[in-house]
Amino acid sequence: MKTPVLKPLAVALIAVLAAPAFAAAASQLPAPEKIVLKNGLTVYYLRNSDLPVVSFRMFVRGAGTAFAPAGEEGVAGLTAALMTKGTAKMDAEAIAEALDFMGASFSVSAADEYAQVSGDSLTQHFPRLMEIAAGCLTGPSFKDEEFAKERARQVDSLKSLKDNPGAAVRSYFRKAYFDGHPLGRVASEPSLAKITLQAVREFYARRFRPDRAIAAVVGDIERERLVELLEATLGPWANPAGAAASEAIPPLPRPKGKTLVLIDKPDATQAYFVMGAPGYAMGDKVTPQATVMNTLWGGRFTSWLNTELRIKRGLTYGASSLFWTWAPGGVFQASSYTKNDKIVEALDLTFGLLAKGGREGFSAEEVESGRNYIQGQFPPTLETNASKAGAYVRLAFYRVGFDYYDKYLAAIAKVSPAEVKAAAAALLPQNDYVLVVVGRAADVLPQLKKYGTWQEKKITDAGF
Amino acid sequence: MRKRIALALLVLAACAASLPAAFRKEDVKVHQLANGLKVLLVEDHNIPNIALYTFFRVGSRNERTGLTGVSHFCEHMMFNGTAKVGPGEFDRRMEFLGGSNNAYTADDMTVYTDWFPAAALEAMIEMEADRMQGLAFVPGVLESERGVVASERRMSVENNNDGILNESVRATAIMAHPYHWDVIGWMSDILSWRRDEIVAYYRTYYAPNNAILVVVGDFEPAKALELILKHYGPVKASPPPPPITTTEPPQMGPKTVLVRKAAQAPSYMAVWHAPNAKDSDFLPLSILAKPLLDGESSRLYRRLVREEQLAIHVGGGVQETIDPFLFSIYVKPRPGADLDKIDRVIEGELGKIKAEGITPREFEKAMNGVRSDFYMGLQTISGKANQLGAYELLYGDFAKLFTIMDDYAAVKIERVKEVAAKIFTENNKTVGTLVPEGGAK
């Protein structure tokens, strides 16, 4: 492949970041119809009968990884996974069999700030899909045997992840950057070992409730049929009597000074790095300027970073940057990988470009190109039923309005070179950052010490 | 219970039906230029964008020893300059116009994928036509790109245990046919291809008579065709590339391959020689793959992950290829798992299917899965472009896309058992394992 394909997580993020439009006339995202079920659950709905398929999406606020109690990192992911492993009426096998039989997909997963529920099927199977989804959401059985199996499977998946340094470095970075903060609650072998089934049950009971959920349905289904179906399936989901657990996330840490964490992987023939620094919150007014700046600095194929590391020097297959955004704040992140003996060259180039961005800014032509690119690449991010449904729940979750993308694209169209330079000066880190490298310490550590106060870990150590 | 039966009947009836009116064979406008370029155009105004996919009939299948990986390298060089458009300029211009691109190389094909706003259509057609035969292969740029591909290989093979095992198993199972090596190529070849060899390879395979151009999206077909004629019309046809004549000889006995490497978890993979996409055994085999491997209700997921708890996940199946390739089963074992036991469980399940076939319910499930995957793949302009081009290249006719569901519906359940008995024999099997060495268990 010419370029690595973006991982789903990054794609979701880009959909948020890359929000403006070329032809200002048509709305990027058709306004959905709001349906409120008798139990208060809000469902946004849009009909699309082009193909016989329907997508369902739901966010449950306060049920993400950030809400795991300290020491029980991973409880959100474990709870989410176990929700499809048995209900009052169906055991895990029956659920899997029913979903596979329809060729449908259904999952519950834990993002940072929310749990995400996704279901996609052919129109003819959608009623059955929603019956199963409602069973999983409202009455998971959380059996001992399933808990033991799933926890063991997740522990082993984490060990296996460490055989792939490009994937493992992201978890190490998250832990190092957010050490102690809820956004750093990364599941590890030791933390999973401490979680009890009772902890899973409590996490579910306190955090999965209709007054915390936002849902959307997009596809080939009539409104009346949908309302009837939703009332019959999700309608009986009642709010528990007690108050819901907190869904607040404290302000993000702001690293001071230069921190380097090296993870020794003695058999690695490439060194993988991720460096990060404070960014901005979802919906922040700097979003358009910062998005154009990031696009030009490290967000696309011809970005400065990819041009210097890959296109001009052939040091790597991929070099990129992005902004992660959450309600309480965000992070700027740059990453790449190269042969062990080239890591200093790659990092020096990266730091040189970070300094250059704020110092020199970008040319008028570059900024025009960045604006065009963001606008031109936007429509496909909302092309499918699933992506529209995902956008409805995301925009509702962040309370930014369904015209968010139209406003965003209109703002992108007006971003000036001076604004981009200001965004670079404010957001590209110089002296305060966290740098994480996975590589062969014997080769790379002596060269890396100049990048910060360092600590060393072994890839074989438990946890991240 | 009654509800379930009614549902099952409904599914079978629907399977036999063709695609919905939203996407029909008649929607595809077909043209062949005098130079041989096949053009497929589909008007779709859902979003104000266009997907332009160019398929070349070249992949690692067309390579030889010493030049392994060169198809994929040509893919990379396609972004590195022609006589008219300097190195990197293709991407810079495209991004300025609001477009982006990627490309992929497989065993049988190389595909260039462009996504852009409708207004960029002519510029994109012009640049695509230019690079079909105009690549400059500037020496310094070529050397830099060699480093990029070496890094890609380090990422996907040397530093990826499943990648290493996959490469070893393929090379062990397939002796003679060029499917012996992986698309990325051997590292020593990547470091050694000469410029003149690369240029000769490009000249042989990059020609309008060896390509398919698929355009789907927000445009008027008459106008698009006019632009295509204007820019691709002058491109010269080349002599037809040489046919691939090597046939893989029948495997005469079981093979095994063992890789020892630092690892936290072992890897397991088994493959059997399997028919090509056009073979009458192909559809029964791809139906079999679903209840065997697809989803948490599949036989092997239940046995290996849930019941015996030997594995973290399982996967695999059969690929649509021009020449016979492999049916694969991948297992990610849990650290310390008994790999022989994994193999015995797999053989046990295959033995049952050889003796008894799959159940009617499994058969229906497979058909539903095939149908669902099919529609999900047609939701986007890029999905449509990719499917049309791949069908045209593999089956020689894009129209196969519009009848494939009927072909699946016509498969008799008994065929699954017959084909399983034919494919899953001891002598046809290669097993590969990667066992941790040095690192933690």
Q: B73 and B196: one domain? A: yes
Using a 10 angstrom Cβ sphere, with 0-12 exposed, 13-18 middle and 19 or more buried, the burial of residue A132 is: buried
Q: Does residue B415 lie in a domain region?
A: yes
Answer whether A50 sits within 8 Å of B295, measured CB to CB.
no
Helix or strand (DSSP H, E) at B331: strand B326-333
Size of interface A-B (CB pairs under 8 A): 223
Phi first, then psi: give them for residue A339, nearest 5 degrees: -55, 150
ipTM entry: 0.90
Average pLDDT over residues B345-359: 98
Q: Does residue B332 lie in a domain region?
A: yes
Instruction: Choose between B399 and B372: higher pLDDT.
Output: B399
Strands B326-333 vs B211-217: parallel, antiparallel or unpaired: unpaired
Q: B328 and B407: one domain? A: yes
Q: In chain B, whose CA is at the least distance from the CA of A364?
A: B96
Q: Does residue B142 lie in a domain region?
A: yes
pLDDT of residue B250: 97
List the domain boundaries for chain A: 31-233, 258-458
Query: Best of A147, A150, A301 to disrupt the B interface by mutation (most B CBs within 10 Å)?
Result: A301
Q: B45 and B99: one domain? A: yes
| Sheet of B38-43, strand order | B28-32, B38-43, B211-217, B49-56, B110-117, B100-105
pLDDT of residue A13: 37
Question: Which conformational region is residue B309 in: left (phi greater than 0), alpha (psi within -120 to 50 degrees), or beta?
Answer: left
Q: What is the pLDDT of residues A73-106, one digit of tens each?
A: 999 999 999 999 999 999 999 999 999 999 999 9
CATH architecture of A258-458: 2-Layer Sandwich (3.30)
Query: Best of B379, B434, B435, B441 to disrupt the A interface by mutation (most A CBs within 10 Å)?
Result: B379
* Confidence check: pLDDT of B30 > 90: yes
pLDDT of residue B16: 37
Q: Does residue B10 lie in a domain region?
A: no
Q: B260 and B374: one domain? A: yes
pLDDT of residue B373: 87
Instruction: Choose between A17 and B295: higher pLDDT.
Output: B295
pLDDT of residue B232: 98
pLDDT of residue B437: 87
The three-point CA angle B1-B4-B8 to 5° equals 145
| 8-state DSSP, A362 | -
C-alpha to C-alpha distance for A429 and A433, rounded to whole angstroms? 6
Q: Which of B29, B388, B92 is nearest to A370 (CA)?
A: B92
Q: Which of A67, A423, A429, A95 is nearest to A212 (CA)?
A: A67
Distance, in angstroms, between A155 CA and closest chain B CA? 9
* Confidence check: pLDDT of B6 > 90: no
C-alpha to C-alpha distance for B317 and B260, rounded to whole angstroms? 25
CATH number at residue B306: 3.30.830.10
| Residue with tokens 């439009």, as numbered in its chain | A21
Last residue of a domain, one of B201, B232, B263: B232
Long-range contacts of A199-203 (CB under 8 A, 24+ apart): A199/A69, A199/A72, A199/A75, A200/A75, A200/A78, A200/A79, A200/A82, A200/A142, A200/A147, A201/A142, A203/A63, A203/A67, A203/A68, A203/A75, A203/A76, A203/A79
Average pLDDT over residues A323-330: 97
Residues in chain B with CB shorter than 8 Å from the CB of A160 are 264-265, 312, 332, 335
Query: Best of B5, B27, B100 to disrupt the A interface by mutation (most A CBs within 10 Å)?
Result: B100
C-alpha to C-alpha distance for B326 and B174, rounded to whole angstroms? 9
pLDDT of residue B12: 33
Q: In chain B, whose CA is at the least distance from the CA of A313?
A: B144
Strands B255-261 vs B429-436: parallel, antiparallel or unpaired: parallel
pLDDT band at B374, cuts 50/70/90? confident
Answer whether B102 sits within 8 Å of A23, measured CB to CB.
no
Residues in chain A with CB shorter than 8 Å from the CB of B76 are 2
Which residues 307-326 of B have a C-beta within 8 angstroms of A?
309, 312
pLDDT of residue A20: 37
- B422 CB neighbour count, 10 Å cutoff: 16
Q: What is the pLDDT of residues B274-296, one digit of tens each?
A: 999 999 999 999 999 999 999 99
C-alpha to C-alpha distance for B111 and B241, rounded to whole angstroms? 18
Average pLDDT over residues A271-292: 97
Residues in chain A with CB shorter than 8 Å from the CB of B47 are 379-380, 382-383
Query: Best of A2, A7, A97 to disrupt the B interface by mutation (most B CBs within 10 Å)?
Result: A2
Which residues 208-267 of B have a C-beta within 8 angstroms of A?
261-265
Average pLDDT over residues A298-314: 96
Instruction: Choose between A163 and B126: higher pLDDT.
Output: B126
Q: B387 and B282: one domain? A: yes
| Sheet of A42-47, strand order | A33-36, A42-47, A213-219, A53-61, A114-122, A105-110
Q: B272 and B214: one domain? A: no
Last residue of a domain, one of B200, B232, B264: B232
pLDDT of residue B22: 66
Q: B50 and B183: one domain? A: yes
* Confidence check: pLDDT of B9 > 50: no
Distance, in angstroms, between A180 CA and closest chain B CA? 27
pLDDT of residue B438: 63
CA distances from A23 to A20, A381, A411, B45, B118 (A): 10, 16, 13, 14, 11
Average pLDDT over residues B61-84: 96
Q: B219 and B302: one domain? A: no
* Confidence check: pLDDT of A192 > 60: yes
Hey, is the C-beta of B48 within 8 angstroms of any chain A C-beta?
yes
Answer whether A300 sits within 8 Å of B151, measured CB to CB.
no
Answer whether B95 sits within 8 Å of A368, measured CB to CB.
no
C-alpha to C-alpha distance for A191 and A395, rounded to whole angstroms? 32
Q: What is the pLDDT of residues B185-198, one digit of tens each?
A: 999 999 999 999 99
Sign, Cα dihedral of B222, B227, B232, B234: positive
Average pLDDT over residues A317-326: 96
SS3 of residue B34 by DSSP: coil
Q: B203 and B266: one domain? A: no
Q: In chain A, whose CA is at the least distance from the CA of B305?
A: A153
Q: B205 and B292: one domain? A: no
Q: Which of A454, A443, A435 is nearest to A336 (CA)?
A: A435
* Confidence check: pLDDT of B180 > 90: yes
pLDDT of residue A359: 97
* Confidence check: pLDDT of B5 > 80: no
* Confidence check: pLDDT of B123 > 70: yes
* CA quadruple B328, B334, B336, B342: dihedral, nearest 10: -40
Q: B200 and B63: one domain? A: yes
Nearest to A156 among B11, B116, B335 (CB): B335
Q: What is the pLDDT of residues A400-423, one digit of tens each?
A: 999 999 999 999 999 999 999 999
Average pLDDT over residues B32-58: 97
Q: B228 and B370: one domain? A: no
Q: What is the pLDDT of residues A208-225, one digit of tens each?
A: 999 999 999 999 999 999
SS3 of residue B304 by DSSP: helix
Q: Does residue B34 lie in a domain region?
A: yes
Domain count, chain B: 2
pLDDT of residue A26: 64
Answer whether A160 sits within 8 Å of B79, measured CB to CB.
no
| Cβ contacts of A213 within 8 Å, gap of 6 or more | A41, A58, A59, A60, A61
Residues in chain A with CB shorter than 8 Å from the CB of B309 are 149, 152-153
Q: In chain A, whose CA is at the least distance from the CA of B19?
A: A51
Last residue of a domain, one of B232, B263, B293: B232
Share of chain A above pLDDT 90, in %: 89
pLDDT band at A5, cuts 50/70/90? low
pLDDT band at B2, cuts 50/70/90? very low
* Confidence check: pLDDT of B4 > 60: no
Q: Does residue B309 lie in a domain region?
A: yes
Q: Does residue B248 lie in a domain region?
A: no
Residues in chain B with CB shorter than 8 Å from the CB of A163 are 160-161, 263-265
Indicate the average pLDDT of chain B: 93
Answer whether B117 sits within 8 Å of A22, measured CB to CB.
yes
Answer whether B380 sits within 8 Å of A380, measured CB to CB.
yes
Indicate the average pLDDT of chain A: 93
- Fold for A31-233, please state it: Cytochrome Bc1 Complex; Chain A, domain 1 (3.30.830)
pLDDT of residue B23: 83
Q: What is the pLDDT of residues B133-162, one digit of tens each?
A: 999 999 999 999 999 999 999 989 998 999
Query: Best of B45, B76, B111, B155 to disrupt the A interface by mutation (most A CBs within 10 Å)?
Result: B155
Answer whether A338 sits within 8 Å of B151, measured CB to CB.
yes
Average pLDDT over residues B262-269: 94
Residues in chain A with CB shorter than 8 Å from the CB of B14 are 122, 124
Hey, is the C-beta of B93 within 8 angstroms of any chain A C-beta?
no
- Give me the domain span that covers residue B270: 255-436
* Confidence check: pLDDT of B355 > 60: yes
Q: Does residue B240 lie in a domain region?
A: no
